[in-house]
């Protein structure tokens, strides 16, 4: 598929459906050594999902366990149509 057709397809899908991506990234840990790449990886995934596929991005960085559960519960409580997409990514 060429770039023009891909862009048109993404635009049409975005018009007819809601695409949400909830991207969690944690590089700060309480009981382990901190990691270097999760924030970078999550931001790269978020950019790709937004720019190439039209997802509405919710990037959540260094959240506590309670904040993560609240976010998941929030998106689980929403009503979705058959065309809508909900994508979770953890880094």
Contact between residue 41 and residue 91 where contact means Cβ atoms under 8 Å apart: yes
Q: Which of 46, 58, 54 is nearest to 22 (CA)?
A: 58
pLDDT of 14 reads 54
3-class secondary-structure state, position 48? helix
Separation CA 18–CA 7 (nearest Å): 16
DSSP assignment, residue 78? S
Contact between residue 37 and residue 27 where contact means Cβ atoms under 8 Å apart: yes
pLDDT of 7 reads 59
Angle subtended by helix axes 3-16 and 38-53, to nearest 10: 90
pLDDT of 1 reads 60
Separation CA 89–CA 23 (nearest Å): 5
Taking only the tens of pLDDT, the chain with its 91 residues reads 667 655 555 555 556 688 999 999 988 777 777 667 888 999 999 999 999 988 999 999 999 999 999 999 999 999 998 889 999 999 8
pLDDT of 36 reads 72
């Amino acid at each position: 598929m060429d770039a023009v057709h891909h862009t048109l397809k993404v635009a049409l899908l975005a018009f007819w459906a809601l695409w949400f991506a909830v991207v969690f990234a944690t590089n700060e840990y309480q009981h382990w050594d901190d990691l270097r790449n999760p924030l970078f990886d999550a931001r790269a995934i978020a950019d790709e999902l937004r720019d190439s596929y039209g997802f509405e991005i919710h990037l959540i960085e260094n959240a506590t366990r309670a904040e993560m559960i609240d976010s998941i519960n929030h998106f689980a409580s929403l009503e979705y149509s058959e065309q809508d997409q909900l994508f979770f990514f953890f880094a």
